[in-house]
């Protein structure tokens, strides 16, 4: 799973961990140092059962680069590994693999942790999955409209 030797890299999130989404509230709100729009090139986004899957491919995914305080990083990394069903490098029961990838934020490349669908699932998505056009979970077709603020 996780190791003290792993670098405290930021996280690139592209689905339910993005600001305003359900798992951001549960896992990240109040624990981040900085959240910035970011892009992951060389990847495609697919519909999942209430959350998306990212796989390597010829596309770009829109997401958010999440930076957390180094002292909070190990605990958060373990919590996200559990959420994403990541058991360790190459584990056959991984739903996602946690990998280091370059993302673009503010026009600059930076390394970040990214959860990509594990190889078995990635093959299934390529064969039978539904791609999200444009690679942005928040602007996918059929997404519920955000709530409209009520005025007094």
Outline where the chain has alpha helix (H): 22-23, 73-83, 119-128
Outline where 10-141 has alpha helix (H): 22-23, 73-83, 119-128
Out of 47, 67, 75, 84, pick the active-site residue: 84
Instruction: Tell me whether residue 21 is one of the annotated catalytic residues.
Output: no
CA torsion sign for 43, 47, 12, 139 is positive
**For residue 30, what are its two tokens?**
């109040």
Q: State the catalytic residues.
A: 84
């Amino acid at each position: 799973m996780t190791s003290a030797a792993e670098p405290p890299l930021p996280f690139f999130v592209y689905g339910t961990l993005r600001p305003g989404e359900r798992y951001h509230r549960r896992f990240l709100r109040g624990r981040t140092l900085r959240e910035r729009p970011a892009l992951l090139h060389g990847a495609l986004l697919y519909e999942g059962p209430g959350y998306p899957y990212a796989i390597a491919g010829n596309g770009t995914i829109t997401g958010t680069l999440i930076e957390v305080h180094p002292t909070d990083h190990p605990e958060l990394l373990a919590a996200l590994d559990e959420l994403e069903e990541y058991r360790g490098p190459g584990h056959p029961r991984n739903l996602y693999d946690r990998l280091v990838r370059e993302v673009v934020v503010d026009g600059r490349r930076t390394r970040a942790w990214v959860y990509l669908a594990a190889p078995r699932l990635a093959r299934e998505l390529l064969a039978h999955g539904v791609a999200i056009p444009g690679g942005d979970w928040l602007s996918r077709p059929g997404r519920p409209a955000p709530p409209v603020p009520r005025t007094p």
